[in-house]
C-alpha cells in the first residue's frame, strides 16, 4: 500500500505553492458555510411561516456547485 495520502483532486497549481493550500481550504470552507447558512435561513423562514424567496435556492445551488467543482477537480 502506498504510504502517501491521495491528494483529493486538488489542482497541481494549488499544490505548487506552500500557502496556497490554506487559501484553498478557506475557500472550500467558505462555500460550505454559505450553503449551510442559506439552508438554515430557509428552514427558519419556513418555521416562522414566511415565504422562502427563490434567491435562497439560487445561492444554495451556486455554493454547492462551486464546492463540488473545488472538491471534485477538473474534468479530463
For the chain (76 residues), the mean pLDDT of every run of 10, in chain order, is 57 72 80 89 91 88 83 64
Domain boundaries, the chain: 34-76
Task: Report pLDDT for 21.
Answer: 72
Task: Report pLDDT for 47.
Answer: 93
Task: Report pLDDT for 8.
Answer: 62
Task: Report pLDDT for 6.
Answer: 58
Q: Give the Cα separation of 32 and 8 in Å (integer).
A: 17
For residue 44, the tally of other CB atoms under 10 A from its CB is 11
Cell for 24? 484553498
Q: Are 11 and 74 in contact (CB under 8 A)?
A: yes
Task: Report pLDDT for 1.
Answer: 46
Amino acid at each position: 500500500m502506498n504510504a502517501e495520502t491521495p491528494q483529493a483532486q486538488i489542482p497541481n497549481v494549488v499544490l505548487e505553492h506552500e500557502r496556497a493550500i490554506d487559501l484553498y481550504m478557506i475557500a472550500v470552507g467558505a462555500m460550505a458555510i454559505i450553503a449551510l447558512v442559506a439552508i438554515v435561513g430557509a428552514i427558519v423562514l419556513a418555521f416562522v411561516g414566511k415565504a422562502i424567496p427563490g434567491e435562497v435556492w439560487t445561492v444554495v445551488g451556486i455554493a454547492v456547485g462551486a464546492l463540488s467543482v473545488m472538491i471534485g477537480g477538473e474534468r479530463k
